[in-house]
């Protein structure tokens, strides 16, 4: 572990062997001086640094010509550091001289060792010396800056400013008390009839002078008024004041005092107030209070303490500078010494094996994997040689396997490329829209079918936050599925509903699935959606077919008694039955009643099936609502109508008679749901962003069953005994013809609410 040379080869040292010291003993003798110096030098350097920077500066100043104990101890440590530095230089020189003589005698490996040591020293010498020079310059500059006259002047000025700050509070209190005393005397504010003026003036003066408080006392030490700053702690303002007021009354002159509190310092200045019309008499006392907070006091004391510490530290300027120089020098020597020792050690360890490794490596580079190194060694070099031999054997045995694996990997990559291309083709060509979102919320894929369904290009989606895109294009249905899957940690979710995109109304079926890898790690969410608008239309056609079937059935029911009555009447007529008149009357009544019922049903269905074409006109929706609600106010005394109309709603383009029919149907349903008694709310609202009029009709009836909510607007569906099931279907037809939407929901706390929207 030192810079000594390795033992000489047997061929070169056979004649010298009796004179040599045994290798272990010789190595121990060479190691001992180095370790002794290092063990002594390193703690000495640490003590020098610690004592000169932390303990010595806190020593007390003295006027004695002799140095202080701290200063003398630092000098002693510096001398010890210098001695250790010189010893290290001698040891370093000894190793270099020894290497020089070994090279002159051409000992085996000496050339390589010399070059290696020279390389280590060369590589470390230039940066180390440069670092030492730069560090020395920086240390000198830093110490000079630390203890410059400018810094001392700044410290002194800061200390003076701190004292002036405290004196300023006293001056402020004294001058304020004097000015306020003169003003009270001049304005005769001590008079009883001017008491309100005194109170107002003191409050104004406290704010004007920026003091903590102003207190006015009579000549009998009675408190006339107080104007205190509520932000000042009460523990400071409640300090005793009677003694100060008594001194002013007794001495008839200004008095100031400084009182300490737990939260700061209170400066009080008291000035006498001359009595009106009585020369030399005192009519009262005004006390002005200035508050110095604890934080400011702490800073003032801290500045003084820092200034004292700075003056003490400045006395150690030269020892600190010398210690820093010496520390840099010792570090430089340690680096050079370590480089030299490491060069010798490495050279001694790898001189022979490195040559063989180089030759074997060259053979392997030329493609000969059968090369092996024969060397006897038990250290790390031996392990390296064994590992090298095993490596070449493994390389030779695995070469064919690697080639085969390379071919297999190439085939696997081609297969993966084909699969990826296939999957991309499927995604691009499926009829359903597909939108994928990664775990960070970024949209990564949006296929052409999705562009076609939504009418939006993919470049407006890619690499953007999903929440931002959904909000921008009002994809509320997508936002709902995405939020619910994130909130509930669901793997799948299916929902369908209406959407409006750029003025187009779509009915979309949306299915969300969570993507996971083989390790069940979350990769994001895939949203697959379809345009169900045409499907819904087909379902409506099927519903109409069902309605037609049921209407035909309902028509067939009254035809049977009509037929039977006609047959009975015909039979009795030909039989010349004596009771023909009675039977005629009964049969004709049955026929008339059934025909009337049939006509009523056909009329209702005809109204629904063949609504007239809307006669559109630009007019006020509020006029229609007001006209309809006016009819119901007088007709139903137990119904309370509450109408709330948005005055910002502009006029709309609609058919007045058809909208009146919508309102009549909705109000009739609401009144019947409440058994002709209760409250009905009618309200309008203007959605400025979507430019749509929103109308709501709410009641407090029994509400709508969940299973009936989807069937409300289907023709011929009703829960009422006397209903035809066509009222809400007609309402929906009218709203749809006006390019609007209608939906039903639960009113809170009870009842139902119907809401329809019309474009503005």
Query: What residues pair up with 130 in beta bridges, in sequence order?
Result: none
User: If you average pLDDT over each of 96-110, 258-272, 719-733, which comes out highest?
Assistant: 258-272
Are the beta carbons of 676 and 700 closer than 8 angstroms?
no
The pLDDT of residue 87 is above 70: yes
User: Rounded distance, CA 704 to CA 718, Å?
Assistant: 12
Q: Residue 618: count other Cβ atoms within 10 Å of its Cβ.
A: 9
Four-CA torsion 29, 33, 39, 42, nearest 10 degrees: -150
pLDDT of res. 685 = 93
pLDDT of res. 59 = 45
Q: Where are the beta strands (DSSP E) in 674-731?
A: 678-687, 692-699
Q: CA 308, 309, 311 angle in degrees (round to 5)? A: 65
Are the beta carbons of 117 and 110 closer than 8 angstroms?
no
- Mean pLDDT value of segment 263-276: 82
Are the beta carbons of 639 and 680 closer than 8 angstroms?
yes
Q: Minimum mean pLDDT among 3-7, 185-189, 305-309, 423-427: which range? A: 3-7
pLDDT of res. 26 = 45
* pTM of the complete model: 0.31
User: Rounded distance, CA 172 to CA 175, Å?
Assistant: 5
User: Rounded distance, CA 69 to CA 531, Å?
Assistant: 94
Taking CA atoms, 737 is separated from 238, 611, 614, 693, in Å, by: 80, 10, 8, 15
* Tokens coding 344: 């010798």
Q: When comparing pLDDT for 112 and 394, which is higher?
A: 394
Taking only the tens place, the pLDDT of each residue in 447-503 is 888 888 888 888 888 888 988 888 888 888 888 888 888 887 778 888 877 887 777
Alpha helices in 294-379 (DSSP H): 294-314, 317-365
pLDDT of res. 96 = 66
Own/partner contacts of 34-41, CB < 8 Å, gap of 24 or more, are: 34/2, 34/91, 37/84, 37/87, 37/88, 37/91, 40/80, 40/84, 41/81, 41/84, 41/85, 41/87, 41/88, 41/330
Q: Residue 305: count other Cβ atoms within 10 Å of its Cβ.
A: 11
Taking only the tens place, the pLDDT of each residue in 639-693 is 888 999 999 999 999 988 889 888 988 988 888 888 888 899 999 999 988 888 9
| 274 φ, ψ (degrees, to nearest 5) | -65, 145
> CA Rg, the chain, in Å?
53
User: If you average pLDDT over each of 141-145, 374-378, 465-469, which comes out highest?
Assistant: 465-469
Residue 749: asked if its preceding bond is cis (omega within 30°), the reply is yes
| Average of per-residue pLDDT values in the chain | 76
């Amino acid at each position: 572990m030192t810079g000594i040379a390795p033992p000489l080869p047997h061929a070169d040292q056979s004649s010298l062997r009796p004179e040599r010291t045994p290798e272990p003993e010789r190595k121990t003798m060479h190691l001992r001086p180095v370790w002794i110096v290092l063990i002594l030098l390193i703690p000495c350097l640490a003590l020098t640094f610690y004592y000169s920077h932390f303990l010595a500066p806190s020593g007390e100043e003295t006027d004695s010509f002799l140095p202080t104990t701290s200063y003398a101890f630092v000098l002693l440590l510096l001398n010890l550091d210098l001695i250790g530095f010189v010893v290290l230089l001698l040891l370093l020189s000894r190793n270099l001289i020894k290497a020089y003589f070994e090279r002159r005698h051409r000992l085996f490996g000496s050339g390589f060792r010399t070059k290696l040591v020279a390389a280590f020293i060369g590589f470390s010498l230039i940066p180390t010396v440069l670092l030492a020079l730069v560090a020395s310059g920086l240390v000198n500059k830093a110490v000079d800056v630390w203890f410059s006259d400018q810094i001392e002047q700044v410290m002194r000025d800061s200390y003076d400013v701190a004292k002036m700050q405290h004196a300023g509070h006293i001056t402020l209190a004294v001058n304020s008390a004097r000015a306020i005393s003169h003003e009270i005397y001049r304005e005769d504010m001590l008079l009883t009839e001017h008491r309100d003026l005194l109170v107002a003036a003191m409050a104004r003066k406290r704010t004007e002078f920026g003091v903590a408080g102003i207190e006015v006392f009579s000549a009998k030490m009675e408190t006339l008024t107080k104007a205190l700053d509520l932000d000042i702690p009460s523990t400071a303002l409640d300090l005793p004041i009677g003694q100060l007021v008594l001194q002013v009354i007794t001495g008839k002159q200004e008095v100031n005092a400084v009182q300490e509190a737990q939260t700061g310092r209170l400066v009080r200045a008291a000035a006498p107030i001359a009595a009106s019309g009585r020369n030399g008499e005192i009519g009262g006392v005004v006390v002005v209070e200035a508050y110095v907070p604890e934080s400011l006091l702490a800073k003032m004391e801290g500045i003084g303490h820092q200034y004292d510490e700075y003056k003490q530290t400045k006395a150690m300027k030269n020892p600190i500078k010398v210690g820093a120089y010496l520390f840099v020098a010792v570090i430089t020597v340690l680096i050079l010494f370590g480089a030299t020792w490491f060069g010798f050690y490495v050279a001694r360890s790898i001189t022979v094996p490195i040559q063989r490794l180089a030759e074997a490596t060259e053979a392997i580079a030329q493609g000969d994997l059968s090369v092996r190194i024969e060397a006897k060694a038990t250290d790390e070099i031996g392990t390296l040689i064994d590992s090298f031999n095993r490596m070449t054997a493994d390389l030779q045995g695995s070469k064919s396997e690697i080639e085969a694996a390379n071919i297999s990997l190439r085939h696997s990559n081609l297969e993966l490329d084909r699969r990826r291309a296939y999957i991309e083709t499927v995604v691009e060509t499926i009829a359903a829209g597909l939108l994928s979102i990664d775990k960070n919320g970024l949209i990564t894929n949006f296929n052409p079918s999705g562009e076609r369904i939504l009418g939006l290009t993919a470049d407006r989606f890619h690499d953007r936050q999903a929440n931002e895109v959904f909000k921008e294009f009002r994809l509320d249905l997508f936002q709902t599925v995405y939020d619910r899957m994130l909130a509930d940690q669901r793997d799948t979710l299916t929902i369908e509903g209406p959407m409006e995109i750029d003025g187009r109304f779509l009915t979309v079926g949306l299915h969300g699935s969570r993507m996971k890898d083989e390790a069940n790690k979350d990769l994001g969410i895939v949203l697959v959606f379809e345009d169900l608008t045409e499907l819904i239309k087909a379902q409506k056609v099927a519903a109409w077919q069902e309605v037609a079937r049921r209407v035909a059935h309902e028509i067939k029911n009254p035809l049977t008694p009509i037929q039977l009555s006609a047959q009975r009447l015909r039979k009795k007529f030909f039989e010349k039955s004596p009771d023909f008149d009675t039977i005629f009357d009964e049969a004709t009544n049955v026929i008339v009643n059934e025909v009337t019922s049939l006509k009523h049903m056909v009329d209702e269905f005809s109204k629904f099936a063949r609504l007239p074409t809307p006669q559109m006109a630009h007019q006020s929706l509020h006029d229609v609502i007001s006209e309809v609600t006016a009819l119901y106010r007088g007709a139903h005394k137990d119904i309370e109508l509450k109408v709330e109309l948005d005055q910002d709603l502009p006029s709309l383009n609609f058919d007045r008679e058809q909208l009146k029919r919508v309102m009549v149907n909705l109000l009739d349903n609401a009144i019947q749901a409440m058994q002709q008694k209760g409250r009905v709310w009618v309200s309008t609202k203007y959605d400025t962003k979507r430019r749509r009029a929103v109308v709501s009709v709410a009641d407090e009836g029994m509400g709508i069953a969940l299973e009936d909510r989807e069937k409300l607007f289907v023709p011929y569906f009703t829960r009422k005994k006397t209903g035809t099931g066509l009222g809400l279907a007609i309402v929906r037809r009218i709203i749809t013809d006006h390019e609007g939407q209608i939906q039903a929901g639960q009113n809170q706390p009870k009842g139902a609410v119907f809401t329809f929207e019309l474009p503005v």
